[in-house]
Each structure stands twice: as C-alpha cells, then as structure tokens.
Amino acid sequence: MNKSKNDSAWEEIFNKYNIVEKVINEGHALITSTNINEFREARLMTKFDHKSQLPQLFIDNNLSILPTSRGGYVIGNFETFSNFNTEDIETTSIEFPTFLESLDYRFITSESTAINCAFVSKILHDFTDEDTLLPTVSGRMSSSTFSFKINSSNGLFNVDVANSQIEIDGGYEGENSLNLIEAKNYISDDFLVRQLYYPYKLWNDKISKRVRPIFLTYTNGTFHLREYAFTDNERYNSLILVKQKKYVVQEGTFNIEIIQEISDNTKIVAEPEIPFPQADNFERVINLCELLKQKEFITKEEITQNYDFDDRQTDYYINAGRYLKLVQVGREPINNQIGCFLTPKGKDIFNINIIDRQKEFVKVILSHLPFHKTLKLYFEQGEMPTKDAIVEIMKVSKLYKIGSNSTYFRRASTISGWINWIMKQIEE
C-alpha cells in the first residue's frame, strides 16, 4: 500500500521529535504548527474528522491530536472520536418553500446550503421545538480559554485550551436555547467530538440559555439531525445522544407496487468485467456519486483523506460505482493521479428530482441478475433470502472472477445490503 503524504510527513515528525517516546514517558507530546509546517502544511496534517483519516502511526500507537491554541497541539492516547448510533429511525416528510428560486434542496453542494435548507423548511424549528429561530453565530472564531478532562490510556488527562480556532457551521438562537450545528454532506461511521465540544464550551460559558450541540448529516434528499449533550461540562467524553430524527422533502409516493413494476420492466444486462461489488452500504455508493457531482473529479487519495473511507473502502465503493456504470476511473490531467468521475449516466441521475433518482438507482441495481433474482425471491418468501440462497443465485449469474466459496459469501452481503436499501424506500 502506498503511503499518503500525511503518513510520510508524520513519520518524519515522529522521528525528529520522539513523539511516541514522549507519550510513553510523559503521557503526552506537545507540538506546534511551526514544527509541522517544516514537513507539510499543518492545516492538512491535523484535520482528522474520523478515525479512518488518522495517519498510520497514530493508529498503530493509539494516538490522537487536539488543538490547544492558535498554533499548538497535544498528542496522546486520547479518546477523541465517538461512533454514530446506527439504529433505523422513521423519516418525517416535510414541505419545502415552493417560492424559493435561489435555494434548491435537490442540488445541495455544501454544508452551508444543507443548513440553509433545513432552516427555511422549518426542519430546525421542528427538531429543536423552538417556534422562533434566528441565525446568530457562524464561521471561525476564537475558543477563548477553558480546561477539560479527556479519557486517555492512563486515566483522565487535563487539557488547557487558550484561544484555539474553532468553526461553527451554523448557530441558531430561539427563546430557550442556542443551537450549534456541525454539518456534513457525506455519510460516516464516527465523528470528532471536538467539533461539538469546543463550540459548546465557548458558548456555554458565555450565555445563560441552554446550548445544544447538533450534528446534521445531509445526503440524497435526507436530513439526519442528532442532538447531543455533555452530562459533565468539564468532561470531553461525557457526550450522550439526546434525540435524533430524519427528514425528507415529500415529492411523491414510492411503494411496493412501484418496485415490482420496475423489477418487471427492467432489462437484465450482461455482467461487466469488473470485480463484483464488496460495498454493503448502498447509501455510501450514492454519497460517493453525490460528491463526484459536486467536484467532478476526485482522486482516490482525496476520497480516503476527506470522507471517512479507508484505502480498501475507497476501492470497493469506486468499483461498486463502476459496476453500475455510474462512475469511471481516470487520471487527473495535471498531477496524473488516479481518481474517478461520474459517467454521463451518473450525471443524468443527479439532474432529476430525488424520488425519480431513487427509482433510477433501483433500476440500475435490478438490471443485474443476482440482485434481480434475489429481490424476486424476497417477494416470494416475504423476507430476505438466506446467504446460502443468495450464493446459489450468484453462482448461476456468470459473475466476473469470483472463485472461492468464501468470496461468494462475502459478496452476498452486498446483495442483501442493496436489496435492504431498496425495501427501505417503500413508504409505510
């Protein structure tokens, strides 16, 4: 596996400043942006929103990094991330203001646009139970001065913060609360608690109203909001999930009859000479296509570093997009780096409304025989077929280069995952 630029630079830093030895002997190591800039720009070297983005040396030594000032950082065995709750929750339909021409929820290209859509459609009002909300704080600002304790391998570690830079994606104040929003337009398994905790500490010390940290994820027409609370203001790891809710703009119906009709009328295509997908979460396939719609071309390294994919997942999900003829691999003209972009078919899907987009995704999945047959068996049995049954379907579907039984069973998880995604589109 090729090392990333971050991995190589951090190796040099660890060697020069004896980072691992200092953490072992002193419980932490301090470093400045000036030290880091000797090897690579600190801004690029310290942005780890998810565990998967940590350099290999951090992973191998169970290390994390936190900012302590405008140009200072502390490295230690800290628990800086928290996993998202993955339970299924109901989706609430909402209406979007039809008179707006300058804001279109179907083509959200940034976190700020996602927040604006959540605000004008009253999603934020409903979620916070505030009748009146006004935008008050956002952007970059100083953290002011505070201290906190964080879990580490040696127990609680005290961190002193003095005027570190923080960024708030959106802050909305109502009569009873200030709601601080961290937004992402891609799916991830975990998040950096600091993105909620530092803004919370700043404003909780400044105002008398309740400060509510909210994480908003937007992808493929769905707004997922999670409200957190810190049960101990001085403890970084006292984070708990208070509530969560999903919202989608109502555009039309999507029922079992529609899926059956798509299944009956979809022409089966020949299996491509591309590795059969090993990408169980179809929402992440869609999300990768969304990101390509926004940026046109993304290198594999950018995907791995910026969007909570590890190296293998990047390859898996790119290949899944290729399998469905939505994504194409190529090289960046300037630096000749390998990356990917949407095919004309992929672009067409993202130029239609969301309900029709979902139908097109169902069509491209069901145009492949193993998925088509598995869904048909699902309807006949009234439940997801067993892995053994799915493997039998796969073995007669002339798949490209699947040899061993164990590989068939691993890839069967993708089929069940994608069929489950199709069934979740059905409105109750």
pLDDT band at 428 (very low <50, low <70, confident <90, very high): low
Which CATH fold would you assign to the domain 256-424?
Arc Repressor Mutant, subunit A (1.10.10)
pLDDT band at 21 (very low <50, low <70, confident <90, very high): very high
Structural tokens at position 237: 């790891």
pLDDT band at 2 (very low <50, low <70, confident <90, very high): low
Written as one string, the DSSP assignment of 5-63 is HHHHHHHHHHHHHTHHHHHHHHS-EEEEHHHHHTTS-HHHHS--SSGGGS-HHHHHTT-
Q: For 404-414, what is each residue's pLDDT tens digit?
A: 889 999 999 99
Mean per-residue pLDDT over the chain, rounded: 93
Each as own residue / partner, the long-range contacts of residues 172-175 (CB below 8 Å, 24 or more positions apart, any chain) are: 172/119, 172/124, 172/128, 172/130, 172/133, 172/134, 172/135, 172/136, 173/133, 173/134, 173/136, 173/137, 173/209, 174/128, 174/130, 174/131, 174/132, 174/133, 174/134, 175/130, 175/131, 175/132
Q: Name the nearest CA neighbour of 357 among 274, 264, 287, 428.
A: 287
Q: How many residues does the chain have?
A: 428
Q: Name the nearest CA neighbour of 357 among 365, 348, 369, 367.
A: 348
Written as one string, the DSSP assignment of 292-333 is HHHHS-EEHHHHHHHTT--HHHHHHHHHHHHHTTSEEEEE-T
Question: Of the given ranges (196-210, 238-252, 410-424), which has the lowest mean pLDDT?
Answer: 238-252
d(CA 308, CA 192): 11
Q: For 66-124, what is each residue's pLDDT tens digit?
A: 999 999 999 999 999 999 988 888 888 888 898 999 998 877 878 999 999 999 999 99
pLDDT band at 38 (very low <50, low <70, confident <90, very high): very high
Structural tokens at position 366: 């069901």
Residue 427, pLDDT > 70, answer no
pLDDT band at 374 (very low <50, low <70, confident <90, very high): very high
User: Once rounded to an integer, what is the mean pLDDT over residues 208-230?
Assistant: 95
Residue 1 confidence (pLDDT): 53
Neighbours of 292 (CB within 10 A): 25
Residue 258 confidence (pLDDT): 92
Q: For 307-356, what is each residue's pLDDT tens digit?
A: 888 888 899 999 999 999 999 999 887 778 889 999 999 999 998 888 89
Asked if residues 322 and 274 have their Cβ atoms less than 8 Å apart, the reply is: yes
pLDDT band at 224 (very low <50, low <70, confident <90, very high): very high
Q: For 228-279, what is each residue's pLDDT tens digit?
A: 999 999 999 999 999 999 998 877 778 899 999 999 999 999 999 998 999 9
Residue 255 confidence (pLDDT): 86
d(CA 266, CA 253): 20
Residue 254 confidence (pLDDT): 81
Residue 265 confidence (pLDDT): 94
The residue with tokens 């993955």 is 86
For residue 147, give the H/E element and its range: strand 145-152
List the domain boundaries for the chain: 5-77, 91-249, 256-424
Calculate what percentage of the chain has a pLDDT beyond 70: 99
Q: For 136-169, what is each residue's pLDDT tens digit?
A: 999 999 999 999 999 999 899 999 999 999 999 9
pTM metric for this prediction: 0.87
Residues 6+ apart with CB under 8 A from 47: 53
